[in-house]
Amino acid sequence: MGRNTRKRRSPLAVRAIAASAALAVAGGGLVWANFYASAGESKSNQNSTLASSQVATIDCPDVGQKLTSVPEGARQGVAKELALLDQQITEAYMRLADTRQAQAGDAGFVNNAILGPLKSKRTATIDRIGINIRRAGGQAPQGMDQLAACQGVADQNQINNGGGQGGDGQGQDNGQDQGQDQGQDNGQDQGQDNGQDQGQDNGNGNGNGNGNGQVVNGPVADDFVDITTVQPNGGPKGVNGNGLAANGNSGSTGTFTTSCGTNGNDNHNSDNIIVAPGVDNGAQHTHDYVGNQNNNAFTSDQQFLQANTSCQNQGDKSSYYWPVLRLQDGTQEFDANDLGGGAEGNIGRILEASQAELKFVGNKKSDVVAMPQALRIITGDAKAFNNGLANANTNWSCTGFEDRQLTDKYPICPEGSSVVRTSFFQSCWDGQNIDSANHRTHVDFVEADGSCANGFQAIPQLQARLVYDVPAPQIQNGQVVNPFAVDGFPTELHKPITDHNDFINFFDENTMNQMVDCINSGQDCQ
């Protein structure tokens, strides 16, 4: 089996191994990168006043989203600096994990030893971003220096419980107790916690590490819900409830379906050519790729056009990619010790979708126009847990229950039902650009009435529906056994709200014109 991969080992991986050894501390009990119950909970605005044992993760302003105008000549340099910002945050997060004992003895440790140095590094990197932009004739946004400071995000569960064991159970023992947790074995032990307690690990995955030096940072029990308990709320939607398929008597009511397989050839890497071109491990999590078979951080548009495709229609060399879904069952995947994989908290068996349906639909108000070649679209936000919900676009459900959609929870499906991830892409285009500095502003979702605003043109809307045969997680004593989770940045704690999907258009001209004609004439084609 061919994998579009490269080995990625660095001091960060060593930090990850060290992180797995950091466990319980005396006093308030361990909070190893503990987490919020759900993305909908409000986060604390505390910074230096946070007790170290309350810090769950690190929240930094997303500099990339502020860059709405970057000269073309500066974009590659800026992308590399943005990827460096992500790497700096990850390194700080790992340090947060492997210094728990020091934090317990010094209430100012997180601020002085982690957040302070991180701010200094980010300040220098943000300065270089501004230099890149100005050298290319552009103007950096005002107030960029104010984006350097990050904050420690509190674990609300621990605060509510008076500093003891987290309410959702993250695989930690409470100080000196002899209770059991549900985390994997930590450090090199054989089930005994490598800390101050005598608790035993007996589960599959919500502590701070396992015996192989991998970081384990979510999900938690409260990230899951039984789909049968959810009230029907309509089908999947795009951002702000928009993005639905054309279903009226006007507009363009046809569809075009392309069949590109389910990545049975294990085409994986942790790059992101859209957000971080030329940057190895720019995504910090592993993607599934269908369609174009030559997608990595260094692929040129010409190489995309010359590559093979997994699509049945050979006129479609587009790249469709999304973060893998993993079952945290203890499987050592090919990337178990690599950056993007286990070294950054993405652990367990990669699940291949049983179905990957890629369909393009029309617009309720008008005909659609052809998408330009090499158009790039990202839907959803891989950092939505820390960034907020402005760009979040998640739809989780189960087969047979797709009138019940979840945004910030993973579904627990009944026997015979499969997990479904659905992504509706932006379908309004500015008519000029194939990408934008923040990868957002060149495309948009339709308005509430289905029209495109601000002079944008309607283009075919991609709808991606992924189906997975996943063993249903079990919630036992407030903890989740054998959870599944979407890959993500370490600081995002595998929250379901961070799901996202990516598309680069490399339909040839004839096939794209066939798609447009089909959709505009109300036909269903493939």
| Angstrom distance (rounded) from CA 305 to CA 190 | 51
Cα of first residue to Cα of last residue in the chain, in angstroms, is 28
Nearest to 340 by CA among 210, 488, 500, 497: 488
What one-letter code names the amino acid at 431? G
Residue 449 within a domain: yes
Scored b (16 or more CB within 10 A) or e, 269-299 reads bbbbbbbbbebbbbbbbbbbbbbbbbbbbeb
Instruction: Note whether 334 and 457 are same-domain residues.
Output: yes
SS3 483: coil
Residue 212 within a domain: no
The pLDDT of residue 434: 97
Which own/partner pairs from 435-440 qualify as long-range (CB within 8 Å, at least 24 positions apart)? 435/274, 435/375, 435/376, 436/68, 437/67, 437/68, 437/69, 437/70, 437/75, 437/78, 438/64, 438/65, 438/66, 438/67, 438/68, 439/64, 439/274, 439/275, 439/376, 439/378, 440/65, 440/378, 440/391
Which tokens belong to 185? 């074995």
Residue 179 within a domain: no
Report CA torsion sign: 424, 490, 406, 65. negative
Instruction: Note whether 230 and 154 are same-domain residues.
Output: no
Instruction: Note whether 390 and 509 are same-domain residues.
Output: yes
**Chosen domain end from 170, 205, 232:** 170
Provide the phi-psi class of 173: left if phi over 0, else alpha when psi is between -120 and 50, else beta. beta
- Output the pTM of the full model: 0.79
Instruction: Note whether 236 and 107 are same-domain residues.
Output: no
Instruction: Note whether 325 and 463 are same-domain residues.
Output: yes
Nearest to 9 by CA among 383, 300, 385, 336: 336
Residue 208 within a domain: no
**Chosen domain end from 170, 202, 236:** 170
Instruction: Note whether 298 and 436 are same-domain residues.
Output: yes
Q: Could you tell me which residues come within 8 angstroms of residue 518 by beta carbon, excluding any fewer than 6 positions away? A: 254, 255, 256, 524, 525
Instruction: Note whether 106 and 226 are same-domain residues.
Output: no
Instruction: Note whether 162 and 250 are same-domain residues.
Output: no
Look at the chain and report how many structural domains it folds into. Answer: 2
- Alpha-carbon torsion, ordered 338, 340, 342, 344, to 10 deg: 120
Identify whether the C-beta of residue 400 lies closer than 8 Å to the C-beta of residue 232.
no
| Angstrom distance (rounded) from CA 507 to CA 318 | 6
Residue 14 burial (C-beta neighbours within 10 Å; 0-12, 13-18, 19+)? middle
Could you tell me how many residues make up the chain?
526
SS3 305: helix
**Chosen domain end from 155, 170, 185:** 170
Residue 207 within a domain: no
Instruction: Note whether 371 and 482 are same-domain residues.
Output: yes
Instruction: Note whether 328 and 474 are same-domain residues.
Output: yes
Q: Could you tell me which residues come within 8 angstroms of residue 286 by beta carbon, excluding any fewer than 6 positions away? A: 268, 269, 270, 323, 324, 335, 340, 341, 346, 350, 487
Number of neighbouring beta carbons within 10 Å of residue 88: 20
Residue 191 within a domain: no
How high does pLDDT run on average in the chain?
81
Which DSSP category does 386 fall into?
Answer: H
What one-letter code names the amino acid at 193? D
Residue 215 within a domain: no
Instruction: Note whether 328 and 407 are same-domain residues.
Output: yes
What digits encode the pLDDT tens for the residues 461-506? 999 999 999 999 999 998 899 899 999 999 999 999 999 999 999 9
pLDDT in tens, the chain (526 residues): 344 544 444 434 433 333 332 222 222 222 223 333 333 433 433 333 344 446 778 999 999 988 988 998 998 899 999 999 999 999 998 888 888 888 888 889 999 999 999 999 999 999 999 999 999 999 888 899 999 999 988 754 433 333 332 233 333 333 333 333 333 333 333 333 333 333 333 333 333 444 444 556 889 999 999 999 999 998 898 875 554 554 456 799 999 999 999 999 999 999 999 999 999 999 999 999 999 999 999 999 999 999 999 999 999 999 999 999 999 999 999 999 999 999 999 999 999 999 999 999 999 999 999 999 999 999 999 999 999 999 999 999 999 999 999 999 999 999 999 999 999 999 999 999 999 999 999 999 999 889 999 999 999 999 999 999 999 999 999 889 989 999 999 999 999 999 999 999 999 999 999 999 999 999 999 9
Number of neighbouring beta carbons within 10 Å of residue 3: 12
Residue 204 within a domain: no
Q: Number of helices and strands (H, E) in the chain?
A: 10, 23
Query: Which backbone phi and psi does 453 adopt, to 5 degrees?
Result: -100, 170
**Domain around 61:** 11-170
| Angstrom distance (rounded) from CA 257 to CA 255 | 7
Instruction: Note whether 359 and 296 are same-domain residues.
Output: yes
Scored b (16 or more CB within 10 A) or e, 398-426 reads bbebbebbbbbbbbbbeeebbbbbbbbbb
Helix residue spans in 108-190 (DSSP H): 109, 116-135, 156-160
